[in-house]
Structure 1
């Protein structure tokens, strides 16, 4: 569970955007404070503001092995 996650560089079509609110990151790479999930084989990023707002829903989707 204490594994370090490495994100491979993916070609970006401009700045990374939040999957919830559409906020754009200031650079082509997602900020360290943003969440990343893989859904249907694609990376989805969620900004820190949306993550704080929706943390209960995010935690509810985790398998019990994670908590």
Structure 2
């Protein structure tokens, strides 16, 4: 009962190499964060990112806060 408990050293979790992908057209960039020219929209509690081209094409719908399903 008075013995010390020895815990195994756990290896640090390896990070996934995720890429940021446009929710509309599928364009991707090789980083975890969106470029400053991309738009972030919150739909149904989820963050969705749109590339510069899709953002420019659908800017009125985005500003009207329409879900991307309506575009």
Asked if these proteins are the same fold (TM beyond 0.5), I'd say yes
TM range (shorter): 0.5 to 0.7
Structure 1 residues without counterparts, runs of 5 or longer: 1-10, 63-67
Match of 2:10 in 1: none
Counterpart check, 1:44 vs 2:43: no
Structure 2 residues without counterparts, runs of 5 or longer: 1-14, 67-71
Once the 2 structures are TM-superposed, how far is the Cα of residue 50 of structure 1 from its aligned partner? 0.4
Larger radius of gyration: 2
Cα distance in 2 for residues equivalent to 1:18 and 1:12? 18
Q: TM-score normalised to the size of structure 1?
A: 0.64
Give runs of ≥4 in structure 1 deviating > 6 Å.
Answer: none
Superposed, 1:1-67 pairs within 5 Å as 14-61=18-65
Once the 2 structures are TM-superposed, how far is the Cα of residue 17 of structure 1 from its aligned partner? 0.6
Match of 1:7 in 2: none
CA RMSD of aligned residues (A): 2.1
Aligned to 2:22, the other structure's residue is in SS state: coil
